[in-house]
Amino acid sequence: MAKIKCPFKASEIPEGGAKCIELEGKKIAIFCYKGAYYALDDTCPHEGGPLSEGFLEEGEVECPWHGARFSLKTGDVLCGPATKGVTAYHCQKIGEDLEVEI
């Protein structure tokens, strides 16, 4: 596990929004939801939709392509058509920066 600082400030992600970054060769979506930050694999395991462009609701992100839903906290799949979850990474705001544990 390594803690990696995101190359942007936390304030660059608006409330209810997300940003996709590549860390350690992985595409990771960082979300800001109700003032907290969450990090998940960006690629939906169903057909590869970009979760960073998904819709946030009730602590979940909905894939913009086919509507699979994942928990922001755990990455667990909560609704198909995906049949498995995505990896969730610990994401912490330190001052103005965001740190993701990979």
Partner 1 sequence: MISHYPYLIVGGGMTADAAVRAIRSIDQNKAIGIISQEPYPPYLRPPLSKGLWKGKPVQRIWCRTESKKADLFLGETAIALDLSNRRLYTDKEKTYSFEKLLIATGGRPRTLPFKDQSIIYYRDLADYYKLREITERAEHFGIIGGGFIGTEIASCLCELGKKVSMIFLEEGIGRRIFPLELSLRLNAFFEQKGVRLYPNQSVKDFRKEGKKEIIVSSTGQELVFDCVVAGLGIIPNVDLAKEAGIKVENGIVVNEYLQTSCEGVYAAGDVANFYCPTLGKRLRVEHEDNARKMGECAGKAMAGNPLVYDHIPSFYSDFFNFSYESVGIADGNLPVISFWNADYSKGVLYYHDSSKLMGVLLWNIPGKVPEARAILSEGVAADLQVLSHRISFN
Note the residues at the interface with partner 1 (CB under 8 A). Answer: 47, 53, 55, 62, 64-65, 67, 80-84
- Minimum CB distance to partner 1, residue 80 (Å): 6
Facing residues of 60 across strands? 57, 71
Q: What is the DSSP letter of 74?
A: T
- Cis-peptide, bond into residue 64, ω within 30° of zero: no
For the CB of residue 20, give the shortest distance to partner 1 in the complex, in Å. Answer: 11
Cβ 53 to partner 1, closest distance in Å? 6
Is the Cα dihedral 12, 4, 22, 64 positive or negative? Answer: negative
- Under DSSP, the state recorded for 13 is S
Give whichever of 17 and 59 is closer to partner 1, judged by the CB atom.
17
Specify the residue, 3 or 84, whose C-beta has the smaller distance to partner 1.
Answer: 84
Number of H helices, E strands in the chain: 0, 11
Q: How far is the CB of 64 from partner 1 (least distance, A)?
A: 7
4 versus 55: smaller Cβ distance to partner 1: 55
